[in-house]
Structure 1
Amino acid sequence: MTSTYEKYQKRKLISSYFSVILSIFLVLSLLGALSLFVINSERISNNFRENIPINLFFTDNATQKEFDQFSKKLGEAPYVKSFKFVSKEEAAETQKEDLGEDFLEFLGYNPLQNSYDIYINGEYVVTDSLTKIEAELLKTPNINEIAYDKQLVELVNDNIKRITNWVLIIAGILTVISMLLINSSLRLLIFSSRFTIKTMQMVGATKRFIRRPFIWHSMRLGLIGSILAVIALVALTFYLDKKFPDLELSPTTNYMPLVIVGSGLILAGIIITTISTFFATQRFLNLKSDELY
């Protein structure tokens, strides 16, 4: 009979340990993913911005020497990420493939212009900076037109700002929820040991002496849960890097954000469990014997 009861208590205790570790793992995994997004938000937003091209068209009076000089100027410009010169012949070939027919035979001449496809560094893809860049480029002789999607630029910037703000709010809410959830799980775990706590207190053990093993045990559970959360975060990062290689999220090359978030998660797991256990044990230490039931 005693053996059966002991087995039941052991299973109950293991179940309590599992629920605490699971709570820590789930909450810290979500918090870590959001934190990683916030840290990499500039990189992610720049990736979207840098895919918005500026099309610059030259008149037919432009010479090859002017193209060479302009290419050199773009290569030295701090705001240019990359650029490509598209001759009117290349543009005609592309147009022919898109239309599925040779429009040059129908028109009898090539109406297209020599142009540049310019991609700007992400931090410059804002309305004010693009206006200044446009004014500077227009000073170049024989430039006919500069075209880019201004509405798309404003839309991307507004959405990135809005998403970042919402992620910060959600991360703050999750932090509070994580503390409450982990605290609740630990209180249930310590609740099962309330009679042991009171017995130790009655034989003269100090509060500090009674709290110490519970705190150390909870810290170990917090460490296990946070390490599992870090492993899940690493796996998520590898998955995202495989799906979206342009974001450059690979832990092997861009490991600092992961190190920062991972260290923060482990520290958070230990600190939250320590504080929660301290107050949970304190509550049962202050209870009278008849209140334990």
Structure 2
Amino acid sequence: MSNSFERYQKRRLRSSYFSVILSIALVLFVLGVLGVVVLKSSKIANHFKEQVAVTLFLKNSVSKSQSEKLVASIKKKEYVKSVVFVSKEAAAKEFSKDIGEDFMEFLGTNPLKNSIDIHLNPEFITPTKMKAIQKEMSENAFVVEVLYDAPLIELLTQNIQKISFWVLVIAGFFTLIAVVLINSSIRLSVYSKRFTIKTMQMVGATKRFIRWPFILNSIRLGIFGAIIASAGLTVVLYYVAQQIPELELLANKNDLGIVFSGVLLMGIFVTWISTFFATQRFLNLKTDQLYA
């Protein structure tokens, strides 16, 4: 009879642990997906920003060597990602291709100018910084005009700010839900052992001595849950990457490392803090309150 009861208790304990691990894994999986969305939204925003170019039109008197020196000096600027020199001959060919006819045949001359296309680092593509860059480049003696699409920059900045705000709000909301769900699972797990906690306390065990095994056990459950969540996240990311390769989900190993590390740390931290407060609550209860 005693052995049957012990087996029943062990099965019940394993079932309880499994449900806690599964709950933690599901919640951490959702957080991992949100983490990927947050990181990729930033990458996508940067991708669009990097397509914006600042074009410097050079004076006709600027020689080839002077143009090369100007390009070399621009490349050293902290805000520059890439620089491309476009000769007026190349620009004329491209323009003729776009309009479908050779415009120089009836003009008799090439009215275009040599130019330099500058692509900037994403963090510098804001209305204020772009105006400052335009002013700086305009002061160069070789430059006759500096052009960029100011309305596009304004619209791009506003839309990115709106999207980033709502992505962070949604991520914060789901993070709060995740913490609450994990906390509830841990509290239920500790609740089932409230009489054991009170018995140990009554025989003279200190709060720290009683609390520590529960915390260690919950941390282990959190780690197991994080491993399962990471495995599920890996499968989903691999599948989506195969279906939509343009997203380059698996290209940046650092971003993936941040997401998986965040999932693991979240699993450890939330289970630790939840167990601490759950055990503390039952340690502070009186014996007659355990039945409430």
Asked whether the two chains share a fold, i.e. TM above 0.5, the reply is: yes
Q: Name whichever of 7-16 and 168-177 sits farther off.
A: 7-16
* Number of matched pairs: 287
Residue 101 to residue 26, structure 1, CA distance change in 2 (3 Å): farther
Aligned residue in 1 for 2:156: 156
Query: Contact 2:237–2:250 at 8 Å: present in 1 too?
Result: no
Letter in 1 for 2:180: L
Q: How does 1:182-197 map to 2 (within 5 A)?
A: 182-193=182-193
Query: Which consecutive unaligned segments of at least 5 residues does structure 2 have?
Result: none
Matched, 1:276 2:274: yes
Aligned residue in 2 for 1:86: 86
Give the 3-state SS of the residue equivalent to 1:152 in structure 2: helix
Query: Contact 1:32–1:261 at 8 Å: present in 2 too?
Result: yes
Query: Contact 2:195–2:290 at 8 Å: present in 1 too?
Result: no
Residue 205 to residue 175, structure 1, CA distance change in 2 (3 Å): farther
Residue 56 to residue 206, structure 1, CA distance change in 2 (3 Å): same
Alignment partners' CA distance in 1, 2:151 and 2:131? 13
Give the 3-state SS of the residue equivalent to 1:81 in structure 2: strand
Aligned residue in 1 for 2:127: 127
Residue 102 to residue 12, structure 1, CA distance change in 2 (3 Å): farther
Q: Name whichever of 76-85 and 156-165 sits farther off.
A: 156-165
Query: Contact 1:38–1:168 at 8 Å: present in 2 too?
Result: yes
Q: Name whichever of 10-19 and 149-158 sits farther off.
A: 10-19
1:266 to 264, 284, 288: 264
Letter in 1 for 2:268: I
Q: CA offset at residue 233 of structure 1? A: 5.8
Alignment partners' CA distance in 1, 2:182 and 2:6? 26
Matched, 1:228 2:228: yes
Aligned residue in 2 for 1:250: 252
Alignment partners' CA distance in 1, 2:174 and 2:262? 15
Q: CA offset at residue 152 of structure 1? A: 1.8
Give the 3-state SS of the residue equivalent to 1:78 in structure 2: coil
Query: What fraction of aligned residue pairs are identical, expressed as a percent?
Result: 44
Give the 3-state SS of the residue equivalent to 1:130 in structure 2: helix
Aligned residue in 1 for 2:58: 58
Give the 3-state SS of the residue equivalent to 1:54 in structure 2: strand
Residue 48 to residue 137, structure 1, CA distance change in 2 (3 Å): same
Aligned residue in 1 for 2:20: 20
Superposed CA RMSD: 4.3
Letter in 2 for 1:123: E
Query: Contact 1:55–1:147 at 8 Å: present in 2 too?
Result: yes
Letter in 2 for 1:18: F
* CA displacement, residues 186-216 of structure 1 (integer Å, 9 cap, x when unaligned): 2333445556667x56994847566554433
Q: Name whichever of 65-74 and 117-126 sits farther off.
A: 65-74
Residue 97 to residue 21, structure 1, CA distance change in 2 (3 Å): farther
Letter in 2 for 1:148: Y
Query: Which consecutive unaligned segments of at least 5 residues does structure 1 have?
Result: none
Alignment partners' CA distance in 2, 1:188 and 1:248? 37
Aligned residue in 2 for 1:180: 180
